[in-house]
Amino acid sequence: MGLFDWLFGQFIDVIEWTDDSQNTMVYRFKRHKNEIKYGAKLTVRESQTAVFVNEGVIADILGPGLYELETNNLPIMTSLEHWDHNFNSPFKAEIYFLNTKRFTDLKWGTKNPIIVRDPEFSMVRLRAFGTYEIRIVDPKAFMTEIVGTDAHFTVDEIENQLTNLILSRLATVLGESNLPVLDFASNYEKFGAYITEKIAPSFQAYGLELTHMLVENISLPQEVEVALDKRTSREITGDLDAHVQYQTGEALGNSGKGGSAIGEMVGMGAGIALGQEMMRKMHDKNTPPDIPTHDHTLYFIAVDKESEGPYNIRKIRELIQTGIIQADTLVWVQGQKDWEPASTLLPQYFPTTPPPLP
C-alpha cells in the first residue's frame, strides 16, 4: 500500500450515499480496505438505513440522521471488536445503505391460465396481470435472506422471485374469494386490496412489505368471451319469437330484389320457416297451454266446505292432475264477486267431452 492510499484510508471521514438509479435497493459504501476512521461522520438520509457488518456479522443498524462513529454511537461494534485504543486507529467494517422507499410499478402476470371454480360457469380459466409495490421493512432479514454480500443489489434481481411468489398464491386467493368472474371488472380495486392482504405475509420472510397490489385486468379465454358475446346479443334481442319472425319477414321482403338463385333459395327457406311458425301458432291455439311462467294470480279453492289457499297456477295444475280439484270444485280469485266452478275459471284444464252414448 502506497503512502497516498494509506492517507486516503485514514483521513476521509464522510460516509454518505445518494441514489440516482431509482432501482437500487442496497449499496455497499466503498472504503479503502474497509477502513473507517474513528470519529467519522455518517449521514443517513430519509428513506435510508445504514447497516454495519463486522466480520460477516450484522453489528448495528442506524436509521435516518447524522452520526459520529465513536464508542457511544456504536456499542455493539465496540463489544464485538474489544478495541484497546478506543478507536484511535481505523477499524474495519462494511457499511451497507438500504433504500427503504417504495419501489413501484413492478409487473406481475400469469404465464399460464389459472383454473378456478366459478358459481356461474362451474370451472373457468383466467389470466390476470397488474402491478405491485414493495419496500424494505426489516433490514436484517433482507440482508441475511436476500442480499448476502452483493455490493450493488437492484430490484431487478428479486423481481422475478417476487412475481413467482405472487402467482403461486394467486390461484388459492382466487378460489377463496368466491367472487363470480363477471363481477371482477367492477371490483378490481376491492379485489386488489383483498389479494394484497392475503399475499403480503409471504413477503415478510424476505424482510419486505407488499404495500399495494393493483389488478389491471382479469380476462377469460377467447372462446368463452365469444360465447358471452352471443349470450349478450341474445339478451338484447328481447322476445326471441318476435325476433325470429322479424328476421323471417325481412328475408322474404329481400328475397326477390337480387334476382339471384341464392336469393331465391334464401327466400324459399325463409318462407318455409314462416309457414312452419304459423302452423305452430295454429296448433298452439288448439292445445291447452302449459303453465304460464309469468302468471302470478293466486287462487283459493273450496275443499270439504273449507277455503284453502292461496295457490299459484303451478300448484293448481298439480291439484287438478291429482283429482283434488274437479270440474265442479269452487274457485275464487281476487276481483271476483262469487265463487265459480273450476271448469269456468280454468277451462283450458277441463276440455269439453261429449256425453256418453245411449
**Does the structure show a pLDDT above 60 at 319?**
yes
State in Å, rounded, how far the first CA of the chain is from the last one: 137
For every residue of 84-113, DSSP letters joined together read: SSTT-S-EE-EEEEEE-S-EEEEEEE-SSP
**Does the structure show a pLDDT above 80 at 202?**
yes
Length reported for the chain: 358
- Report yes or no on whether pTM surpasses 0.75: no
Pairing of strands 65-68, 57-62: unpaired
Residue with cell 349470450: 231
The residues, ordered by sequence, that sit 6+ positions from 291 with a Cβ below 8 Å of its Cβ are 313, 314, 317
CA 190 from chain center: how many Å?
9
Q: Is the Cβ–Cβ distance between 152 and 131 less than 8 Å?
A: no
**Does the structure show a pLDDT above 90 at 270?**
no
Most distant CA atoms of the chain, gap in Å: 141
| Three cell numbers written together for 158 | 428479486
pLDDT tens digit sequence for 142-177: 999 999 888 899 999 999 999 988 888 887 787 777
Strand (E) positions, the chain?
14-15, 24-28, 35-36, 41-44, 48-54, 57-62, 65-68, 91-92, 94-99, 103-109, 114-118, 122-136, 152-154, 208-219, 299-303, 306-311, 330-333, 340-341
Bridge partners, 60 (sequence order): 52
Q: Where are the domains of the chain?
A: 3-99, 103-223, 299-347
Q: How many CB atoms lie within 10 A of CB 191?
A: 22
User: pLDDT value at position 348?
Assistant: 86
Average pLDDT for 235-253: 61
Q: Which fold has domain 103-223?
A: Tetrahydropterin Synthase; Chain A (3.30.479)
